[in-house]
Amino acid sequence: NSENSASTSVEDPLPSWNQGQTKSAITTYVEMVTTSDSPDFIPIKDRIATFDNDGNLWSEQPAYFQLFFAIDRVKTMAADHPEWATEQPFKAVLENDMTELAKQGEHGLLQLVMATHAGNTTEEFKADVQEWIKTAIHPTKKVTYDKLVYQPMLELLQYLRAHDFKTYVVSGGGVDFMRAFVMEIYGIPEEQIIGSRIKTSFEYNNGSPVIKRLPEIEFIDDKEGKPLNIQKIIGKKPVFASGNSDGDLQMMEWTASNEQESFMLYLHHTDEEREWAYDRESHIGKLDQGLDQAIRDGWTVIDMKNDWKVIYPFEK
């Protein structure tokens, strides 16, 4: 019986969320747009929900996890690249010299990404990422990276899907990097993952077709790239958008312009004890303009410290 308070936690679709304005804003919206006689009812085909990934579905500190993958790959590949011992940015990586690595700037990062993300086939790359995600350990949390997903967001994804929303990842991260593990962790299939891409070519290897990964950026799925990619790939506006930084602002605005009732959700990192606290001045996941606009336009902002009972699944 739903009025029996003893059973509340069993029936609550968002058990890791504390009761309060944020949680009730989400459930009120979902009930409103999925109740068939509601004036704001949204047909199932239009229930598109898009989620940023880094810092929104999993942590992103002290550096994007994909950068740790690149660093780990450089170390794995170093035996075949003796020249890296004296060549930046590889030398800095091999010597664990993060100060020097930071000095190499964006160009250095790009070199790292290209050396570790290109030159192989799509299938070889996928196998590399899958091996890494099962074994690599986060430098400060001391667990594998897949453990650092946000339990409340897993529940939110599941709750939306239970109401026939189609959940997408729309991330600045590499699309093929994410596809290697996202299905298992978030329950989102490959075809609902959108991200940044490098160029590829279709080739034959002993008569068998392969797709080779080329060392050149094709599309950066960030800022205005997010709505552009959503339009290119999904072909319709989301009704629900979730992110944590200024890089998600254009996706939020695009979603807010939907003629159907839409929901914009920002995650504010406020918990320096259990996770990290950062916003307007952060070098990663900067949330400044987005926070101002969320407040001005009445979008929902998650206060991580107060709205979330647990952060990671292993805390349950």
Pairing of strands 48-51, 240-243: parallel
Backbone angles phi, psi at 96, to 5 degrees: 55, 35
- C-beta closer to its own copies: residue 158 or 200: 200
Binding characters for its own copies, 5-44, by CB under 8 A (x = yes): ----------------------------------------
CA distances from 161 to 23, 146, 158, 188, 235 (A): 17, 21, 5, 10, 20
Tokens describing residue 13: 């679709």
Residue of the chain from 72, 97, 224, 303 that contacts its own copies (CB under 8 A): 224
Are residues 51 and 221 in contact, defined by beta-carbon separation less than 8 angstroms? no
Name the minimum Å distance from CB 273 to Ca ion.
Answer: 21
Residue of the chain from 17, 47, 51, 52 that contacts Ca ion (CB under 5 A): 52
Tokens describing residue 44: 């199932």
Are residues 217 and 198 in contact, defined by beta-carbon separation less than 8 angstroms? yes
Binding characters for its own copies, 52-81, by CB under 8 A (x = yes): ------------------------------
Residue of the chain from 16, 50, 245, 270 that contacts Ca ion (CB under 5 A): 245
Closest CA to 192 of 227, 225, 165, 166: 166
Q: Is residue 260 at the binding interface for its own copies, with CB under 8 A as the rule?
A: no
Closest CA to 181 of 199, 169, 164, 172: 169
Q: Is residue 55 at the binding interface for Ca ion, with CB under 5 A as the rule?
A: yes
- State the binding partner of 228 from Ca ion, its own copies, none, CB within 5 to 8 A by kind: its own copies
Q: Is residue 206 at the binding interface for its own copies, with CB under 8 A as the rule?
A: no
Amino acid identity, residue 249?
A: L
Name the minimum Å distance from CB 85 to Ca ion.
Answer: 34
- State the binding partner of 211 from Ca ion, its own copies, none, CB within 5 to 8 A by kind: its own copies
Amino acid identity, residue 106?
A: E
Q: Is residue 54 at the binding interface for Ca ion, with CB under 5 A as the rule?
A: yes
Query: How many Å apart are CA 166 and CA 219, to the nearest integer?
Result: 23
Q: What is the CA radius of gyration of the chain?
A: 21
Q: Is residue 254 at the binding interface for its own copies, with CB under 8 A as the rule?
A: yes
Instruction: Give contact residues for its own copies (rule: CB under 8 A).
Output: 45, 48, 122, 166, 175-176, 179, 183, 189-191, 193, 197, 200-202, 208-209, 211, 224, 227-228, 231-236, 250, 253-254, 257
